[in-house]
């Protein structure tokens, strides 16, 4: 009996450890899969597709129309976007190496324009923000800015072989169209702050529209916009309260609108020609 006891081999239950190990593996796989799925759906929900975004491949730049200190404007074509067929457009961009503040203002202008839809306000067609450079794509106003248009067209005369003169009736129509565009901005609680003939655009049929919204601000909350003393303002077009206190309201835009009307009636002359800025 004793020898048989000593020779008896111990019995090892191999399945005693395998079941919990397999269970742990399955649990880990399930948890990892769940985390991946949750992250996927979270990212899918947080990525908002901008309906204004245009693929860069659908925008073709053709010719430079003008430039400023930090920006450039081109004539181009935008292909089949937002339900529209191919159409001519104006393309605005920021020069390479422009200050970060200018790029910020450029992007703010695009965001402001997304909220406009009126016949006498230049319409945004879309933006290109993927990669560089960022582009703002707008409807093309084929006759350029109002300032240049006025300077190029004399007052109506009976002897006008080229047919380029402007009649008083046409001047009045321009004034009404500018007033209509500014009334739209005011009704929607925006203050332009930079209204001038140079920032109004003329379409192929002579229609005038408000443009250049780089200084435009939303005044939904306070009905006014206050800027710092260091910011430049268009002195000859700015209302007294804007110059003195840097406070801008829709009433300030009314003042600027009257100055633009004066520009129209004088065919593009600068306001307050006899005064220097220091005066």
Q: How many CB atoms lie within 10 A of CB 19?
A: 9
Residue among 132, 136, 134 at smallest CA distance from 124: 136
How buried is residue 199: exposed, middle or buried, by Cβ count under 10 Å (0-12/13-18/19+)?
buried
Is-catalytic flag, 194? yes
> Distances in Å between the alpha carbon of 122 and those of 9, 30, 107, 209?
94, 55, 17, 6
Tell me which of 160, 194, 203, 205 is the catalytic residue.
Answer: 194
Q: What is the layout of strands, in order, in the sheet containing 124-128?
A: 59-67, 71-78, 87-94, 135-139, 124-128
180 assigned to a ligand binding site: no
Distance CA 276, CA 236 (A): 10
Q: Has 145 been labeled as part of a binding site?
A: no
Q: Is 212 annotated as a binding residue?
A: yes
The size of the chain, in residues, is 279
Question: Which residues lie closer than 8 Å to 77 by C-beta, 6 or more apart?
Answer: 59, 60, 62, 86, 87, 88, 89
218 belongs to an annotated ligand binding site: no
Known binding positions:
92, 198-199, 212
Catalytically annotated residues:
194
Known binding positions for Mg(2+):
199, 212
Known binding positions for ATP:
92, 198
């Amino acid at each position: 009996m004793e020898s048989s006891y000593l020779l008896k081999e111990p019995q090892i239950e191999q399945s005693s450890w395998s079941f919990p190990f397999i269970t742990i593996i399955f649990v880990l796989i399930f948890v990892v899969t769940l985390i991946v799925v949750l992250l996927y759906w979270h990212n899918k929900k947080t990525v908002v597709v901008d309906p204004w975004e245009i693929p860069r491949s659908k925008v073709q730049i053709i010719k430079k129309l003008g430039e400023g200190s930090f920006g450039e404007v081109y004539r181009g074509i935008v292909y089949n976007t937002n339900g529209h067929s191919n159409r001519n457009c104006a393309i605005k961009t920021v020069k390479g190496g422009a200050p970060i503040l200018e790029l910020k203002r450029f992007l703010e202008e695009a965001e402001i324009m997304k909220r406009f839809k009126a016949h006498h306000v230049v319409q945004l067609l879309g933006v290109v923000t993927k990669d560089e450079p960022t582009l703002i794509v707008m409807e093309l106003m084929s006759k350029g800015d109002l300032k240049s248009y006025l300077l190029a067209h004399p007052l109506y005369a009976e002897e006008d072989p080229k047919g380029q003169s402007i009649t008083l009736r046409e001047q009045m129509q321009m004034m009404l169209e500018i007033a209509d565009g500014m009334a739209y901005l005011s009704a929607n609680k925006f203050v332009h702050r930079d209204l001038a003939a140079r920032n109004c655009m003329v379409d192929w049929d002579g229609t005038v529209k408000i443009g250049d919204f780089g200084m435009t601000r939303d005044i939904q909350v306070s009905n006014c916009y206050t800027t710092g003393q260091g910011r430049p303002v268009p002195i000859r077009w700015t209302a007294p309260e804007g110059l003195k206190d840097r406070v801008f309201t829709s009433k300030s835009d009314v003042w600027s609108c009257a100055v633009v009307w004066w520009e129209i009636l004088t065919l593009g002359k600068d306001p307050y020609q006899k005064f220097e800025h220091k005066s």
